[in-house]
Chain A
Amino acid sequence: MAVSVKNLKIYYQTLRGQVQAVDNVSFDIKDHEILGMAGESGCGKSTFSNSLVLLKPPMKFMGGRVELDGESLPLADFRKMNEFRYKKISLIPQYAMNALNPTRKIGRMIAELLASRGVSFSKISRELDRRLKLVNLNRSVMKMYPFELSGGMRQRAVMVIATLLDPSLLLADEITSALDVSTQKAVAKMLVQFRDMDLVKSLVFVTHDISILYQIADRVLIMYAGKAVEIAPTKKITKEPLHPYTRLLISSLPDVGVKYSERRLAGIKGRPPGLLNPFPGCRFKERCPVRFEKCDKEPPLAEVSENHQVACWREVGNNG
């Protein structure tokens, strides 16, 4: 098991209280696996991926455990985490297009970054060239400033930078969201290639667009309001989704080619609840078409069949 996340709780400490952005989330990722993480805006996807690399206020570690290759990550210890950052866990952030220092040439920034992490630039230089080619970037971008590149190019540059030290776990946060459909596919394929070539061992591919996951994810995790509500292999979850939210999500998918964000989740009425002191019970109950009395208690994430976990009283524990 490359990665195991157990009961992870990450809250935001605000003046008005705690925002329960990642609440008791548990799952595993195997070696060479691409796990797709999908859910509406604000459900805690970025909070999850950021917390694994940079957990600092207002983000707060409230409990849980994350293991990487058998080692427990010292998430709350900023200093100790530095051994893992970049070398073992790396992030392509949602803000990838602004992630580079605007007044440094990209090549020089990389050299300085690597030097600061004790890696020699000259040793890695040939590998860097090879990877730039993989993402269709010319070597000349190394001599350019970030603003000389298009948004998509900048993002691919960040992809190369993030994976330069062959991390065990790569978190790719919404890297396709700002791109047009054909580029989305190309970028997603590049990441699959990175995995196939063993440049990254496991990959969490975060998106609010479930349709892109059909093409690249081995398994899919659906998040809703800070909770993991369903996890299953991609085929399974598309053919027989169990959680009412997943069902609505999949049935509301637009035809291929329609830009997703424009018609997002048209089929689900209402909005997700605020995560500042959320109500007890199932967090989907306000919008759930099949809720019943039991839903005022919180449903556990339980295995309903092999490799298929759901957090819904309709599917589990109906007899308990």
Chain B
Amino acid sequence: MGFFIETLIGGLMAGMLYSLVALGFVLIFKASGVFNFAQGAMVLFAALAMARFSAWVPEWLGVDSRLLANGIAFVLSGALMFAVAWLIERLVLRHLVNQDGATLLMATLGIAYVLEGVGSSIFGSDIYKIDVGMPKEPVMILEESIEGGLLINREDFVAALIAALLVSLLWLFFQKTATGRALRAVADDHQAAQSIGIPLNRIWVIVWCVAGLVALVAGIIWGSKLGVQFSLATVALRALPVVILGGLTSIPGAIIGGLIIGVGEKLSEVYLGPFIGGGIEIWFAYQLALVFLLFRPQGLFGEKIIDRV
């Protein structure tokens, strides 16, 4: 029992990060109808920026404090991601207004390659470390109430906490501010939103900025755990099955979908792994998404069949 709960909690914590990345994905889809294949590349790019800036800043400024270096690196990387969002709107989206979904999808594939290329030429293509002081030692909790206690990975716990916090803050932003309201309006009906004077271009920049911020946070967390390398993009791309599961247009769907995939991966790895071989974690999400595509293509919470892809 203790082991099962441990696995479950591990899955939920991992899933929270998928939820976060999926949220960036859903926002872009809702606001602009773009199926953003570049989400993974954005995570990689952001993580690369963070890793390199945090190494360069002490050299440039001659400061020694890791906290300060990380702080400055975070601000620089954030600014860079905003610049990327702005450029994407300027150079790509603006010229593809009213194109069909497939064209936009191809455009984001292009963006992904450009980001990966530019990322490795500016920042290099080795494996880099991000050290933001995440706790590495696991802790034992509830030793009295559960036999054997529960071993919790503190790094995953902190990561999940940060992800949950960011999701909540974004939610507040969308519900409580004028810009958030405009964003929800655009997501509901582009035509009407424009007719009452909401500039679509600005909203697009904002959702790509949010996706960039989300990518940065996820990039830092995954980067500090796994190291910053090319495979980060693939980890982040697991947001795709998450949104297929949750529904492309549903924000709660993205969050719940992320948790389901996180838990599913861990449980299947632990309980099915011994029978059908390990490595389930890698393909589980895609398999589940495939089942959904066959039987419920609009996902758990989606509004309509995906007709744009």
The answer to whether A binds B is no
Taking Cβ atoms with an 8 Å cutoff, the residues of A that contact B are none
Taking Cβ atoms with an 8 Å cutoff, the residues of B that contact A are none
